[in-house]
């Protein structure tokens, strides 16, 4: 190969290398300039987005954990006090809180209806509900129903019709509490309010409320018991007079009794002696 050609190629390669080095140097200088002038703003935006994503993921995990804990405690509760404690501890989970209050109110109302404060368990006898306990249970049930409806209404932004699944049953429960107190006018008002809330969207609720209002009329009517002096006494019929046939039967009965008595006094007849056997002819001398 010609040495001159080799030198030309070497110079050409050197020129290309120098050009590439200059281009890379310019790019580095431009990037450094961009970082100094505008880069920190973009980096700050990227950092904020990353922090927001991390925060949202943490918030989601925390909410999921709280919700799971609330529903777990609700599933384990059995007594009214336990349900009320679940609603208090998990007030930040409104769905679980209002369900816990509804369960607590239903249990309180069941205590009043059955008259049993604590049911029998094994060898432990049931504890009866006295009058003071009955009043406490009714007050607590009414309060729990009202709180559940309030929470449901807040969740739906004040729209009671959208919250009718909770609001209407709570009004039914408050009506039952009023009935137990003997306040039938108050019970009717709660049922009429339930009809207003349900409207045309929940026809089954409207039907049930109307049925209960219809039955309320008979319950509200006072039943007066008559006094002892006002009771009718059926006269006792006189014994029928004896007839000739009755006299004849009575006479026959008396005669039969007399014959039986005489027969019992007669001594038994003496036994008939058994004759001795006759000897055979020609026997003995």
Query: pTM for this one?
Result: 0.60
Q: Above 80 in pLDDT, residue 77?
A: yes
Least reliable range by pLDDT among 27-36, 47-56, 149-158, 195-204 = 27-36
What pLDDT does 46 receive? Answer: 78
Q: Above 70 in pLDDT, residue 181?
A: yes
CA pair distance 34, 105, nearest whole angstrom: 67
Mean pLDDT of 144-155: 96
User: For residue 127, what are the contacts with CB-CB under 8 A and spacing of at least 6?
Assistant: 116, 117, 118
Three-state secondary structure readout of the chain: CCHHHHHHHHHHHHHHHHHHHHHHHHHHHHHHHHHHHHHHHHHHHHHHHHHHHHHHHHHHHHHHHHHHHHHHHHHHCCCHHHHHHHHHHCCCCHHHHHHHHHHHHHHHHHHHHHCEEECCECCECCEECCHHHHHHHHHHHHHHHHHHHHHHHHHCCCCCCCCHHHHHHHHHHHHHHHHHHCCHHHHHHHHHHHHHHHHHHCHHHHHHHHHHHHHHHHHHCCCCCCCHHHCCCCCCCCCCCCCHHHHHHHHHHHHHHHHHHHHHHCCCCCCCCCCCCCCCCCCCC
Q: Which pLDDT band, with edges at 50, 70 and 90, does 156 fall under?
A: very high
Q: Which two tokens stand for residue 277?
A: 């056997």
Least reliable range by pLDDT among 21-25, 75-79, 150-154 = 21-25
What pLDDT does 131 receive? Answer: 92
CA pair distance 172, 102, nearest whole angstrom: 11
Percent of the chain whose predicted confidence (pLDDT) is above 70: 65
Q: Which residue has the higher pLDDT, 226 or 54?
A: 54
Do the beta carbons of residue 166 and residue 144 sit within 8 Å? no
Q: Above 70 in pLDDT, residue 9?
A: no
What pLDDT does 285 receive? Answer: 42
Percent of the chain whose predicted confidence (pLDDT) is above 90: 44
Mean pLDDT, rounded, of the chain: 79
Q: Above 90 in pLDDT, residue 223?
A: no
Does the domain made of 78-220 have the CATH classification 1.20.120?
A: no
Q: Above 80 in pLDDT, residue 166?
A: yes
Q: Which pLDDT band, with edges at 50, 70 and 90, does 73 fall under?
A: very high
The residue count of the chain comes to 285
């Amino acid at each position: 190969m010609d040495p001159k050609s080799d030198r030309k190629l070497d110079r050409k390669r050197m020129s290309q290398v120098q050009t590439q080095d200059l281009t890379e140097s310019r790019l580095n200088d431009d990037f450094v300039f961009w970082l100094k002038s505008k880069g920190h703003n973009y980096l700050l935006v990227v950092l904020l987005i990353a922090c927001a994503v991390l925060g949202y993921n943490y918030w989601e995990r925390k909410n999921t954990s709280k919700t799971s804990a609330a529903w777990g405690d609700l599933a384990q509760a059995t007594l009214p006090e336990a349900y009320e404690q679940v609603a208090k501890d998990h007030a930040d989970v409104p769905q679980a809180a209002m369900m816990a209050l509804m369960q607590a109110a239903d249990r309180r109302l069941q205590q009043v209806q059955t008259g049993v404060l604590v049911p029998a368990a094994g060898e432990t006898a049931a504890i009866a509900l006295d009058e003071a306990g009955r009043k406490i249970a009714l007050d607590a049930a009414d309060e729990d129903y009202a709180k559940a409806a309030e929470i449901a209404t807040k969740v739906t932004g004040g729209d009671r019709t959208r919250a009718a699944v909770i609001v209407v049953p709570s009004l039914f429960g408050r009506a039952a509490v009023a009935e137990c107190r003997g306040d039938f006018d108050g019970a009717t008002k709660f049922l009429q309010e339930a009809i207003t809330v349900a409207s045309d969207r929940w026809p089954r609720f409207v039907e049930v409320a109307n049925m209960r209002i219809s039955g309320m009329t008979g319950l509200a009517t006072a039943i007066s018991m008559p006094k002892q002096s006002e009771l009718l006494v059926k006269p006792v019929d006189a014994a029928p007079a004896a007839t000739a046939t009755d006299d004849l039967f009575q006479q026959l009965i008396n005669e039969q009794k007399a014959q039986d008595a005489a027969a019992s006094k007669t001594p038994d007849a003496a036994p008939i002696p058994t004759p001795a056997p006759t000897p055979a002819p020609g026997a003995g001398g």
